[in-house]
Amino acid sequence: MQRISYCNGHFLPHQHANIVHIEDRGYQFADGVYEVMHVHHGVLVDLAPHLDRLDYSLGELGISYPCSSRRALESLMYEVIRRNRLEYGSIYVQVSRGVSKREFYFPKKPVTPSLVITAQRMQPFNPALLQQGIKIVTLKDARWKRCDIKSIALLAPVLAKQHAAQRGAYETWQVDEEGYITEGASTNAWIVKGKTLQTTPATHSILNGITRQRLMVLAKDMGLKILEKRFTEADILKADEAFLSSTTTYLLPLSSLNGKAVKRGTIALALREKYAEYCARATR
């Protein structure tokens, strides 16, 4: 089946979706934001909080809304889902400030933001990952100081992912100047101590994951406590369990950190189960 993408008013075969202008500020300056949403049974999971975060990112950067309304954007996303006959996968939405002569400051005359929407089918998931756990490595956090904005400026995460790939690891957890873990290149970081889940607080140093927020609600329903407090590599090695979370991975438990064993338990897997049930329930 042909993959269809949306680009600035047009639905195009994906291989021909190459109509972004060379002076698009997203291309020139990474002057734009994005969202990735999970599609379960043809329905977008946690659509409202994802669109709230998109509003926040756009607002922080002073980029105009790319559609006449939130409803109009939702309709476009569902049209991309429909045209791709997407049952399980993800929708990527990118908004850049628009096309303008290459000058650093915002365009003097208002420009129309560029909007791109693509769909991707879910990669087959290897359930052995849940039993084996994943390998994590660490790297100094080289990102800017507004990681709360879901900006398309992703060079530091690209390097962090490559760092992991070259070491046979699944993900890189980034470490701030004081030795605390901020988050993964594209995932949030957690440890488990007894019945408490500890995760980095949602400051400007991390992206407040929608999965992170959903897991907090589900964890409380399971009688677990949440502690939003920074932790170090040493804390991970002492913890009962550690795991990461994101829209596309749900939740994955760690087996090692920089080659050192991380303890395994039952809480991360039980919470993942709750999250999977939530996705099924929310999209029925």
**Is 150 among the residues known to form the active site?**
yes
Rounded CA separation 46/37 (Å): 8
Supply the minimum distance, in Å, between the C-beta of residue 10 and ligand PMP.
Answer: 26
Name the nearest CA neighbour of 93 among 18, 152, 162: 152
Our finding on whether 246 is near ligand PMP (CB under 6 A) is yes
For 12, list phi and psi in degrees, rounded to 5: -130, 150
Interacting residues with ligand PMP between 15 and 54 (CB under 6 A): 36
Amino acid at 102: R
Interacting residues with ligand PMP between 204 and 223 (CB under 6 A): 207, 209-212
Q: ∠ CA 241-246-248 to the nearest 5 degrees?
A: 120
Length of the chain: 284
Please select the residue that binds ligand PMP; options are 84, 188, 200, 205, rule is CB under 6 A: 188
Rounded CA separation 69/196 (Å): 40
Radius of gyration of the chain (CA): 19
| Residue 75-94 contact track with ligand PMP, rule CB under 6 A, x = bound | --------------------
Our CB check for ligand PMP shows the closer of 99 and 252 to be: 252
Rounded CA separation 229/206 (Å): 12
Q: What letter would DSSP give residue 135?
A: E
Interface segment toward ligand PMP; rule CB under 6 A; list 62-70, 119-127, 186-194, 267-275: 186-194
Our CB check for ligand PMP shows the closer of 45 and 99 to be: 45
Name the nearest CA neighbour of 181 among 243, 255, 271, 260: 243
Our finding on whether 247 is near ligand PMP (CB under 6 A) is yes
| Residue 98-127 contact track with ligand PMP, rule CB under 6 A, x = bound | ------------------------------
Supply the minimum distance, in Å, between the C-beta of residue 141 and ligand PMP.
Answer: 10
Binding site for ligand PMP (CB under 6 A): 36, 183, 186-188, 207, 209-212, 245-247
Kindly list the catalytic residues. 150
